[in-house]
Amino acid sequence: MNRNRINIRLGMMLFLLCMFMACKKELSVENGGFGGTAQGELVDSLGNCKAATIVGNYSVDTPLTTTGNYVIISVNFTAQGKYKIYSDTVNGMWFLDSGFAVSTGTNTIKLKGYGTPILPKASDFTTYFNNNICGFTITANGSGSTTGGGGSGGTTGTGTNGDYFPTTSGSSWVYRYIPKLGSLDTFTVSAAVGLVTVDTLSYAQFATRLKDTFYFAKDPTRGIYYALSTVDFDYTSVFDTVPSFFITYPFLKENANVTDTWSSPNYGPVWTNGTRGTAKAVFTMISKNTTPYTIGGKTYQNVINIKRDIMFEPDGSSTFTIMLSGNSYYAKNYGLIDQVFAITPSQSVSLDSTPIIK
């Protein structure tokens, strides 16, 4: 594994955008662009979810209509083709729209409402499009609706409260690639307002100025932190091509013992160097609150060191091998402070200054 295999992680959208730019001629209307799959994003230039507009009255036991109950969202299409944008089902209701994106750029999409409200309460919906996950809130009470966007009604993430990975909205971290990756030196990551609920976990959205979006959650009863993502390291990418969906896995267990290991679910198919296969991440607790760690001009106490091995199994094989290993350092009350990859020449994603934790 060499440094050339570690790339700036602009998220799934960058991979898809690059694919679009490389195949722009083939995606034209004249050349069958309608046969492809549309690509795009629900987030703005800072990586934050764009606001949604709720239209219609939502009353218990009153079926929704596609003409009277809908949600207006803004989508930035980066490639022509078929699209499907949909929400989960909450309180007996769901929303979706499908069609063809005939041009790239910002478009307004109307997600039509289906189902019947069951209870008079506020319901938080999650919207899915490619690898963007955003949300809105609707109150069913017979008196109208609320305006949503960007998660569950402005709920914030976890506070400092001894967390090794705080997700409080408004918190921010500045990281530096050492050495630089191409022309990129430093970048900022910010925790946005709002939570996205997937299964039983509420994920905070982390956004970068590179339009990358990440989702992290904590199970407070067990001290386990989860990512909703690919199996790559945060802010880097390893594989050439990955699926257009995320999986959930624990990346940090604050109550684990030194030498404890765990792994993500298998993820795929993925492609690397022209080979298709399956990926997973294996985690090992290396050290826990024993050695202070100095980075970005500050020495941090209570630091957990987690090793992550990115594993790859080619199709037709029954053996996973390590593609890339690295160590992630998490400081209590501050979050991720450093990632050091086991390659030559050296490469790291390091905290550039003391983070701002709200």
User: Cβ-count burial of 106 within 10 angstroms (0-12 exposed, 13-18 middle, 19+ buried)?
Assistant: exposed
Q: pTM for this structure?
A: 0.65
For the stretch 107-160, pLDDT in tens is 899 999 988 888 888 888 888 887 778 888 898 875 433 333 333 333 344 445
CATH 2.60.40 spans which residues of the chain? 32-139
Domain 156-351: which CATH number of 1.10.8, 2.40.360, 3.30.70, 2.60.40 = 2.40.360
CATH assignment, 32-139:
2.60.40
Which part of the chain has CATH 2.40.360? 156-351
Residue 45 confidence (pLDDT): 73
Radius of gyration of the chain measured on its C-alpha atoms: 21
Q: Which residues of the chain have pLDDT under 70?
A: 1-35, 142-161, 209-211
pLDDT value at position 38? Answer: 86
- Do 57 and 70 contact (CB within 8 A), yes or no? no
Side-chain half-sphere CA neighbours of 145 within 13 A: 22
3-state SS, residue 276: strand
